[in-house]
Amino acid sequence: MQIYKFNHVLKTVLWGGDKLTEFEHLPSTDEPIGESWELSAVPGLESVVKGGEDDGLTLTELLQRHGAALVGEEVYQHYGDHFPLLIKFIDAKRDLSIQVHPDDALAQRRHGSLGKTEMWYIIQADEGSKILTGFKRPMSPEEYERRIADGTILDVINVTESKPGDVFFIPAGQVHAIGAGNLLAEIQQSSDITYRVYDYNRLDANGKPRELHTEQAREALNYNVVNSRVDYEPAPIPGITSLVRCPKFEVQRIDFNDGFTLSLPQPHSFVAMMCLEGATTLHVADMEPVSLRQGETVLVPAVVNKVEMTGSAQLLTATI
């Protein structure tokens, strides 16, 4: 086994921009890139291993080959050959639609899928950039439908100015949207189910209004007030800062200026590492060293219990 790198899965969308090409050191393009899927087992959009003995395998094929050694015994017992997370970088040059995701029970009943709880870490934010999350006050399904019909749904959604380092936790059922000007990391359950609630009356590439999912969203929405912004106390440098811990995933930030040793208790899950800035080389016993720089993501197998990191970097880590 090894520390795994994967090819980027880039998505061109009407609200995308050009920040990801610079952030991820990609060739420039005139296409509006909105998402770079870093770790994905979503059918048709799977990550593919880049380099090493498992070169060319999809993430699902990799999991089928290595099983619990890759993801951890408890994770494998719970999820089997389904990788449980979807990890992305997102560039919103324009506002994303107002949307909601179903929880596990509803997603399983309707789509045979996991639900979608997610978190965002703001990497860059233009002046005045905003995040929209949750209702300002308790709502009812009837008021929701009325406000969709008369175009006033934005009047009852919380709006927060965003800045680098902000963290937002979005449980399934919470109405939300990424505002224009945000470059962020997204860690979520492995699900691509989205119910679009409101889209500013925009037209798609064919000049038609984009589809709304008013009825599907009605049952999925949490109509109570839920705070999404996460307050956290940064750890000293070098150190590990806990950002989000929930039943679906745990996310931490690691900051270091002259190397760092990450110890991983056994048994544990895999560790996905996203480099937000700087560069490092990862050293694991009996494995080839792997470089990791800004805009790259690696998957550290569950069999690893210690990672020695050189250089200076800021990383996000995601585990189950």
For residue 266, what pLDDT is reported? 67
Cα–Cα distance between 108 and 189 in angstroms, integer? 13
Weakest-pLDDT range from 135-149, 205-219, 268-282: 205-219
The class level of CATH for 239-319 reads: mainly beta
Instruction: Name the phi and psi angles at 116, rounded to 5.
Output: -140, 95
Q: Where are the CATH 2.60.120.10 domain residues in the chain?
A: 4-220, 239-319
For the stretch 221-230, pLDDT in tens is 999 988 899 9
Q: Which residues are catalytic?
A: 196
pTM over 0.85, yes/no: yes
For residue 267, what pLDDT is reported? 67
For residue 204, what pLDDT is reported? 76
For residue 125, what pLDDT is reported? 98
For the stretch 133-177, pLDDT in tens is 999 999 999 999 999 999 999 999 999 999 999 999 999 999 999
CA neighbor of 117 nearest in space, from 220, 202, 241: 220
- CATH-assigned architecture of domain 4-220: Sandwich (2.60)
In whole numbers, what is the pLDDT of the chain averaged over residues?
96
How does strand 130-135 pair with strand 297-300? unpaired
